[in-house]
Structures are given as C-alpha cells and as structure tokens.
Structure 1
Amino acid sequence: MARWVRGWSIAAKLFALQLAVIIVLAVIAVALIWADARADVERDAAAKSMAIAQTIANDPFVIEGVRSDDPTAVLQPYAVDVMREAGVDFVTIMAPDRTRFTHPDPSQIGRQFLGNIDPALAGEAFSETYTGTLGPSVRSVVPIEDASGEVVALVAAGITVSNTQVALGARIATVIAAAAVMIALGALGAWLLSRYLRRVTWGRGAEEMSRMFAYYEGVLHSIGEGLVLQDDRNRVVLANDRAAELLGLRKPTGRDAAPAALETLGLAPSVADVLARTGAVVDEIVITPTHVLVVDRDVIVSRARPGDARARRVGTVTTLRDHTRLQELTGELATMTTLSDALRSQAHEFANRLHTIIALIELGRPDEAVELASNELALSQALADRLLSAVEEPVLLALLLGKAAQAGERGIRFDVDLPERLAATGIDPRETITIVGNLIDNALDAAAATPSPAVDVSIGMRDGRLVVAVADSGPGPVAGARVFDLGVTSKPDAAGGASHGRGIGLALVRQSVARLGGDLRVEGSRFEVTLPLPAAAASGAAPALPGAADA
C-alpha cells in the first residue's frame, strides 16, 4: 500500500491529504457540536422535567391525594393526563419509602422507585440522568410538603434519553448538512489546487522530481560548457560552475540563491548585452576581457498541453562555449600559413631567377649573371640580417619575417624600426602572435587599397615596457576606437558593403592587451600597444634605439 501511494504524483498526494484533513476536521467539528447540542438538549430536558415536577409538588390536589386512602386511584389518572399534556415520558408520585403511587407502566405501581432520592427527602429538588425501568432518562425529583413543611411524598418527572436523542437529531441534522457542504467545498478547492500542481509538475511524483533534481544538478555542474538559466525577467536564476568561471562570477554555493539582476553581476558589456535580450541567439561570438565565447540561447515557453497556442515565456537557457584556445590556435596557424606561403613564393621566385642566371651563363655573359645574383642576395638578406641581429624573441622574429615576405609578395613596402638589440620579452608567445600578427594583417589589408602601399612597424622598449606601433598608408579606421569592438570592421566585402564574419582580429588584440595589463591607442592609421614586461625580462631589457630595415 505504501509503495502504491509512493508512486502517486504530488498533486494526487496533496489532494488526498487535503481531503483527509478536511474530513477529519469536519468529523471533529460535528462531534464537538453534537456533544454541545446533546448537553443543551439534556439541560432543556432537565429544566422541563424540573418545572413539571415542581408544579405537581405544589398542586394541593396532589397533597390531598397522597393522604387519601387509595393514592393510586386518585393520582394515576392525574399523572397520565400530565404526561400527555406536558410531553414527558413519566410522572412518578411516591411515598417517602420509595413506594410508587403512579407509573406509566401500571405493573410497576406499588414497587420501589429506582434512583437517588436522598436530597429530595432532605427537602432539596434535584435533577439527574439515571437508568430506571424505562431505560436511561433525565429526571427531576421534587419533595411534596404539607403546610408544616414536612415531606409527605416525592414526585419524579422525566424524559427518556431516546427521546432526547430524537430532539438532538433534529438539531444535529443542520450541523451534518453544513459539514457535508464544507467537505464538498474543501474537496473542490483541493481538487482545483491538485489540478494546478499536476499541470506545473507534469504529473510527476515527489520521489521522481527529487531524483530528477539530483540528476540535473549533477549534469549542470559537470558539463564542460557554461550554462546560464534566466527567468521571464532576464534575472539569472542559475549559472553552473563553468559559466561562473567564464563570466567571472562567484561560483554557486547553494540551492536557495535568489535570482540576480544582470546589472548586479558585473558582467562584461558584450555578455550583458546578449543576456539582456528576449529572443534566441545562435552561434554569436562574444569577447570578454579573458575569453572568446560562442553563445547559443533558447527561449523556454510553457504550454498547458502540446500544441497550445497560449504559450507563456518562462525564461531562457544560454550555453557558453569557450573558443579562446581555438582562436589562439587559429592565429598561430595563420602565422605558420603566412610563413609557408612566403617560403613557397620565394622558392618560386628564386627558381625563376636561378634559371635566368643559368641562361646568362650559357649565353656567355657571366658578369651579368654574377651581378644579378649578388643584387638579389643583398635585397633578400638585408631584412633577415637586420632582424636576426636585433631580435632575440624567436616567435616575434619568425612573425616579422613571415609578414615581411607576405608584404613583399603583395607589393607593399614593409619597414621595421628596431633597437640595436631587442631582448626576449618573456610575454606569452600566443599573446605576441595575436597582438602583432593581427595589427600587421589589418595594416597590410588597409595599405593594399592605397596608391603607394606601405606599412611601418616599430618595436622597442620604453620605461621597462614593450611598445609595438603599426602604421599604414591608409586613412585609418572611420570608427576610431570602436574598431576594437567585435564585428566592427572597415574592410569591404566582394560586393562593396560591410563585411560579414569579420571584425574579430582587433577585438582579439584588445582582449590580449587587457589580459596582459597593457594599453592600446589608435591615432589615424597608427595603432600603438604598450605592454608591461615580466620582472625578469624588464630588468634585462636594453633602451630602445632607432634602426630600420626595409623589404
């Protein structure tokens, strides 16, 4: 039975419990009212019997009758008439020694009266409930006194308990009817409440919901993606551990946390903007000071039944995927691709020039062949020698060589201004690739659209900080400082309009600079980044000295 009840839904259990409580309360109320009503009826019966008994005791006819030679012959008809007219069940007139003169049952006349008469013999009238020859009854016994005050007889008038119950039943019927109405109304209210609970709990039982909650809690806090749940007012109801890490929130500590408004969480503006929306979001990239996030957002609605058009917005579920490392690897891959393309291009060019030199030798013109080879060697080695002698950071060196080759291939003048010696910076190579690589890529793209394309790169030290400045021959971004916002770009697409799927490079630059605690400024077409160096690298850094190499 207990196992069967355990399988009930919360709504069914609540309905059964409420109905049982209402019935128990109604039964208790009826019992109390019935007991009170019975006491009232018995008091009324005692008062009525007392009044009749006193009236009989004060009647001179009765006093004369008990002194006559045959009291029964005189008083029995009188007693029967009183019982009939007054509506009592018995009137017994007796001698002080309990011998009955009258009784509803003639066979009981002359026998002893059953019950207590001592107070009456002492001259005191009283009432009691006693079981006599007619069964349980409420009776009053009053002494009959002569003119001198002597007790010459006793009179007992009473109403049987069965008759009091008949009177009580008439009064209690209303109470029972009211209790039935109360039970019906309570059952209706419990049914309506259980129907509502059945709808909002989908008919699930308490044990099932408890298990589901435990499973969901485990899943929410163990998955690798961030998960943010919001209510219909866009307040954050739940953020799992991964979401708290990605958004810089305090990790959840309990199940009773109240919903938090977005403005109280200190979220990055880009994230707060997405979470403040009311609609769905699909694969939107959001950059915070520490992460590159891909955001998906679904709207949760509640329907009374499948297909119900009256859907109500309950809230949203937002998933956050961390693509920071992916973007870093993409940047590194782009740099390696640039180097590979530059080497392949140079190999192609060197093959053409080698064929030309061989042809000059075969034509008997060795001097011209030597001159061509020497010139090409000097042009190709000038930048490489300059970078190799000045830059001790291998990642930065490879990056500059690759971008120089890429600029040469695109016909863009590429100038690098370096000090005599640029010691290793100690900065994370991935951050270096993100910052310098994206700045130069944007400069090359901007310069390529100008009549005299040129890109100037300046790298040096200033007050123990690394300063990287990249300028191009273009007019500079129209958006100014907003060019670092995600999705903002001045690069046209093939149709001449705004580019789609672009505008992330400079946003990543700003993120990396912020992560390293640096500064970023833009003036026209010149972008300048200032980065603090780790303590060890800063102590060994040499002052910036001007120097240049061209490609």
Structure 2
Amino acid sequence: MLLLQLGVLVAVIALGFALTAWRLGAGLEHRFQENALDVARSVAAQPGLADEVLARDTGAIQRRALAVQRTTGALFVVVTDDQGIRLAHPDPARIGEPVSTSPDAVLRGAEVANIERGTLGLSARGKVPLRDGTGRIVGEVSVGFDANDISAARWQLVRDTAAFLGVALLLGAGGSMLLVRLLRRRTFGLEPADLAELVREREAVLFGISDGVLALDDDDTVSAANAEASRLLGVPIEPGSALADLDLPAPLARAVADRSGTPTVTVVGDRVLVVTRREVERGGRRLGSVVTVLDRTEVERLTDELGAVRLMAQALRAQRHEFANRLHTLHGLLHTGDADDAADYVRALLDSPAVALADNSEAIASSTVRAYLGGQVARAAELGVQLTVSEASWVPQRLLAPVEVITVLGNLVTNAVEAAHASRVRPARVEVDLLSDGMDLVISVANTGDGLPQERLAGLFAGGVSSRGEDRGFGLAIARGTAESLGGSIEVTHAGGDGALTVFASRLPGVLEEAEVPA
C-alpha cells in the first residue's frame, strides 16, 4: 500500500513538474518578447530620434542605441530608415546595410514580437515603427535579448521548481508513511485485502446464522445488525442509531445493557429470548461489544410438550402397575376358591373412579386435552395434590390450535399444582374448569395455597419472576404471550389466601372448531 501511494505521488509530481516547466518556459519567452517590445517603444518615443533618422545622423543615432543597450542589457538596439537600412547597430561595420530580417510588417505600422535568428544569433525581438511628428513612419526600432539569457532564466526557474517539488515529494512521502502507519494502527495492521476478506466474513456471519447479532461500538451506537436481530427484538435497527433510541421493552433493555457476559433469559411478547452481551477487546483496547439474541421459544414449547408426554407415560405406567396388582389379587382369590370375595372385589373395582378423563367423555371432545389432564392428575397425585376437572366443564368441539391451548393450559395447571404443593394448606387441591363459548375456549384454574401478595401481582407475568428459585418464572410469561398472540388474555381473577382459592382465567379466541348446529 505504501509503495502504491509513493508511486502515485512520484507520478503526479513528475507530471506536474513537466507541465510546470513547459508553462514556465513558454511564459518566459513571452515575457522576454514583451520586454523587448517595451524597450523598442521607449526608444522610438525618444524626442528627436525621428529627425535624426530623416537627417541620417548615424553618429547621434548610434550613441542613443548604445546607451539604451548598455542600460537595458539588450543584445542589440538597431534603428533603420524607411527602407530597412541600418542607421545604428552594435557592430558599426554593419551600419548602412539592410537588416537581416524582413522589416515590411513593421514599416506598414505593425508591432512584431518573436524569436528569430539574425546576425548576432538567436534572440527574442521586439520591433516597432518609428514615426515623425506628423505620424508618418520614417523607420524601424528593433531591440533583441540574447536567447542564452532566456535559457539561463528557464533553467533557473526549473531548478527552483525542482527544488520546491522535491521538498513537496519528501513531505508527501513522509505524510504517506504517517498515514499508512495511522491506518494500520486503526485497522490493527490489516492490509486492504485482509479488510475485504473481513467484510465478506462479517456479512456471512451476520446473515448466515439464525441468531440475532447486534454489534455496538464503545459509545453504544449500532455499527451492524442482521435482520434476525430486528425481528427478535421487535424494532427496526439501522446502523448509526444509538442503543438508547431503539425503544426496547424494559426487561429486554436491561438484558441488552448487561455487560457481564452472562446469558439473560427474557420474554418479549410470546417469545422467550436468551440475550448475551460480550465485550470485544484487542491488545487491551476496548472496541465495543456484540449482543447475541437466541430465540428459545420453540425449545420451551417442545419442553412443555415433552413434559406432557412424560406425564402421560408416568400415568400409563402407574395404571399398568395398578392393573397388574388388581389382576394378581383377583387371580389369588380365584385360585383359593374364594368366589364370593372375588366377586365383591370386582364389584368394588367397577364402582371406583378411573383416572380422570381417561375415557372418551363427550364433556371434553379433545383427546389431547384429556390425555394431558390425565397425566397431570397422576403427577399431582404423586405430589399430594388432588387435581380435578369441574363437572361443569363442557367443550364438545375439537381444537384448531392444540399446541397453543396446551401451552396456556399446561403452564396454568403446572403453576397451580406447584403452588398448592408448596403451600402448607391441606388438603392441597387444584380445580380446572373448561368451557366453550362459540369458537372461544375459556379456561379457569383454581388452587389452594397461600395466595398472591399484592406487590407480586403487577409483575407476575414478567419473565423470570418466580418465588421458587432461579431459572424459573417463565411459564406464566409464555402463557400470556401465547394467549395474546391468539388475541386472547390471561388474568388473575382472585389473588387467594386466607382460605380462598387463587384463580387464573384465560380466554383463547378461535381455538375451537365451529360448533355443529342441530338440524
């Protein structure tokens, strides 16, 4: 890069030097010609010279010419009559001879300035007509300056210009070296090819990954961001905008401002985001920071679904174990011949309730909901919590959005079961009420427990708010985000406590099939 800059600098200065020398030479020649004209005009304007020419007083004319020649340093001062015959000349032997160059143009009244070769060699000449008192042309005055003087002046100018340009070249080379050094310091020693490769790699990293990436400089100004970052953060991001001007939600703004490098989980709408901000340094110098945003929503949903499947498996294992125990008991009674006791045992089994909602009851048509609640009944029982479904529940339609419904219902039920289990209130109970309202599903989940303090109600649905340890408290936030994405809502209708139940209610619009109208 330095060699390229120096090469361009030398080429520009060389071209400039050549152009300047040419212009100076042309200007110098013109200046000498004008000087010769000025001297010739001053001689022609001397009083009495025209009379002396008419009188052909060559002695007086010669004295005038030599005096001017000595004063001005001219090569020659020549005066002629109207026929071009010399009346004054530096070489007295040439007086009375015709001039060596044509006087016709001057004798017609024109002034001539040029460079010509005469008897005294090459010179810059100025020729003017000599007029008498009436304005009649009576002769010519020719003044010439030696061309060697022009060459000497030209070379002097060239030397001065070359010295000036040489100094300029040295200053330019020094400036280029300082500029290259500064650029290398700013670019950490990278060459242009390296910088181009870095740009290509940056574009590949920013737009080739599924995570959101936001690059900030040391002043928290956005220097780069990919489209995924704008989508996940929910705001348009333009390079050059300040982080404080992005209008991020308060939890997300706190997560982005956290410079500890620890991943922070936050909820934005119906999304669960993992935000990490890491500082970038090189050689002990802070360059800025990089914020990565990972969407963990699908992972949370899959976790919920996996939890539901695990609950169902546990419930089925429990039923299998209980069924095997009952078969062994019945086999033993029959084997011992106690037919009456066996009949009583079978009668008692038929009268006992099965696992809730394990049948195909028309009260809740969705097998997905029945299976999930059946698994939750078994899990709640293991925790010492009685989970029941209200007898008033009535949902005869199937689900159009099973994932969203199970996400909301599952988080509400799980939260209620854990709250009832953690409380000292016994017996611990959770009651679920499901009702259809056209194509809307209304969910109500009530649980025993200590209730919700007033100070917790305001931030209850914010991500990460939980009284049961770290990395908890995202269930209600996910449930609300999911409900709101459907155009629905979740709210606490009763805070509970003092023997009252804590009640959460949710309305999910458009999640049920359209009810059939009886004919």
Answer yes or no: same fold by TM over 0.5: yes
Per the alignment, residue 547 of structure 1 pairs with none
**Cα drift, residue 63 of structure 1:** 6.2
Alpha-carbon separation, structure 2, partners of 1:385 and 1:229: 53
Counterpart CA distance in 1 for 2:44 and 2:154 is 23
Deviation at 1:401, TM superposition (A): 1.0
1:537 aligns with 2:505: no
C-alpha distance 378-414 of structure 1, shift in aligned 2 (>3 A): farther
Larger CA deviation: 455-464 vs 166-175: 166-175
Q: Secondary structure at the match of 2:477?
A: helix
User: 1:181-233 CA deviation, whole Å, 9 max, x = no partner?
Assistant: 44554554455444444555554447x76676456545543433333344445
Per-residue CA deviation, residues 130-181 of structure 1 (Å, 9 max, x unaligned), is 3212233234556778999998876544222222443455567655554544
Correspondent of 1:490 among 467, 475, 483:
467
Q: Secondary structure at the match of 1:482?
A: coil
Q: Which residue of 1 aligns with 2:498?
A: none
Q: CA distance change for structure 1 residues 512 and 97 in 2, over 3 Å: closer, same or farther?
A: closer
* Amino-acid identity (%): 30
Amino acid aligned to 2:380: A
Alignment match, 1:520? 490
Residues of 1 paired with 2:362 and 2:233: CA distance? Answer: 44
Single out whichever of 408-417 and 215-224 deviates more from structure 2.
Answer: 215-224
CA RMSD of aligned residues (A): 4.4
Higher mean alpha-carbon deviation, 464-473 vs 115-124, is at 115-124
Map of 1:4 onto structure 2? none
After superposition, the Cα gap between the structure-2 partners of 1:520 and 1:325, relative to the gap in structure 1 and judged at 3 Å, is: same
Q: Are the equivalent residues in 1 in contact too, given 2:32–2:145 (CA < 8 A)?
A: no
What is the CA–CA distance in structure 2 between the aligned matches of 1:422 and 1:287, rounded to whole Å? 31
Structure possessing the higher relative contact order (Cα contacts under 8 Å, 6 or more residues apart) = 1
Residue 19 of structure 2 corresponds to residue 42 of structure 1: no
Give, in whole Å, the separation in 1 of the partners of 2:107 and 2:50.
18
- Of the structure 1 ranges 452-461 and 80-89, higher mean CA displacement relative to structure 2 is found in 80-89
- Tell me by how many angstroms 1:395 deviates: 0.8
The match for 2:311 is 338
The two structures have a TM-score, normalised by structure 1, of 0.74
| Counterpart for residue 267 of structure 2 | 287
C-alpha displacement at 1:259, in angstroms?
Answer: 3.6
* In structure 1, C-alpha distance between the alignment counterparts of 2:332 and 2:167, rounded to whole Å: 117
Q: TM-score, normalised by structure 2?
A: 0.78
Which residue does 1:163 correspond to in 2? 149
Matches within 5 A, 1:133-532: 133-141=119-127, 156-167=142-153, 177-200=163-186, 203-205=190-192, 213=199, 216-217=202-203, 220-248=206-234, 259-261=240-242, 269-275=250-256, 277=257, 279=259, 281-301=261-281, 303=282, 307=283, 309=284, 311-314=285-288, 316-349=289-322, 371=344, 374-375=347-348, 378-381=351-354, 383-384=356-357, 388-419=361-392, 421-449=394-422, 450-452=424-426, 453-462=428-437, 465-478=440-453, 479-491=456-468, 499-522=469-492, 523-524=494-495, 525-532=502-509
Where structure 2 has 5 or more consecutive residues not aligned to the other structure, the ranges are 496-501
Q: Are the aligned partners of 1:92 and 1:100 in contact in 2 as well (CA < 8 Å)?
A: yes
Cα deviation code 1:228-270 (max 9, x no counterpart)? 34444545454434444444567x9xxxx65445577665554
Label 1:40 to 1:445 Cα distance change in 2 as closer, same or farther (>3 A): same
Question: SS where residue 415 of structure 1 aligns?
Answer: strand
In 1, Cα distance between equivalents of 2:12 and 2:131: 58
Task: Give how far 1:444 is off.
Answer: 1.6
Distance 2:133 2:483 in 1: 125
The change in CA–CA distance for 1:269 and 1:31 in structure 2 (over 3 A counts) is: farther
Question: For the structure 1 residues 236 and 271, does the alpha-carbon distance in structure 2 shift closer, same or farther, using more than 3 Å as the test?
Answer: farther
Q: Secondary structure at the match of 1:286?
A: strand
Counterpart in the other structure of 1:494: none
Match of 1:91 among 77, 98, 102: 77
Give the whole-Å Cα distance in 1 for the aligned partners of 2:486 and 2:54.
Answer: 127
Task: Give 1:382 shift.
Answer: 7.0
Q: CA shift at 1:334, angstroms? A: 0.9
> What's the offset of the Cα at 1:19?
6.0
Q: Is the 8 A contact 1:477 1:490 kept in 2?
A: no
Preserved CA contact (<8 Å) 2:266 2:464: no
* C-alpha contact 2:33 2:113 (8 A) present in aligned 1: no
3-state SS of paired residue (1:456): strand
Paired residues, what number?
506
Contact 1:23 1:183 in 2 (8 A): no
